[in-house]
Amino acid sequence: MPAHELQPDKWVDNYADYLFNYAVGRVSDGELAKDLVQETFIAGLNSAKNYKGDAAERTWLIAILKRKVIDHYRKINSKKGKAEVRINYSGDEGEGDWLEERVADPYSKDGDNTIENEELGLAIQDCIAKLPKKQATAFNMKTIQGMSTEDICNELGINPSNLWVIIHRARTALMGCMNENWF
């Protein structure tokens, strides 16, 4: 017998305010937050058969709502919309592989981190794409690929002082972009 049983008839009374506050904190729009909470409840009803009862209802509903928020941002951001946010649950992509039906284990410490890391990675990629080409190239080579200063300078035909300035400008621009689009 599961530790917790779903009680959908009590969801609105018990969890609507909590879910709304969670959603509005992430989307900064009250009407949109209400819609996301409604979608969460519908998805919860549709995926009730997958509820294992290992976690509290609220935790399970928050896991669904987090995915709704991610879907929202994927839809509104054209670059994010083109890049799939892949959440690998079981490795097989069969019929019924909808997010609502494949809610992650709420006790897993990796689930939220994986999603947040993927979101962060997409945000960073979007910001890098907005950099001037030389800054993006130098930043990728130094920070992401971990190339040595000497190798980067040889490949780009610049000296170490120029590289430092380019990297500094790229980091400053990325910080501004991330503050605007992520935080």
Residues 104 and 160 in one domain: no
pTM of the model: 0.45
Residues near 166 by beta carbon (within 8 Å), at least 6 away in sequence: 134, 135, 138, 139, 158
Q: Which residue has the higher pLDDT, 100 or 51?
A: 51
Residues 105 and 17 in one domain: yes
Residues 110 and 165 in one domain: no
Containing H/E element for 7?
Answer: none
Could you tell me if 132 and 166 are in contact, meaning their C-beta atoms sit under 8 angstroms apart? no
**Interval 135-171: pLDDT, tens:** 988 988 888 778 888 988 998 999 999 999 999 999 8
Per the structure, the complete domain to which residue 154 belongs is given by 130-183
Ordered DSSP codes for 25-62: HHH--HHHHHHHHHHHHHHHHHTGGG--SSS-HHHHHH
> Is residue 20 scored above 50 in pLDDT?
yes
**Position 92 in a domain:** no
Residues 137 and 108 in one domain: no
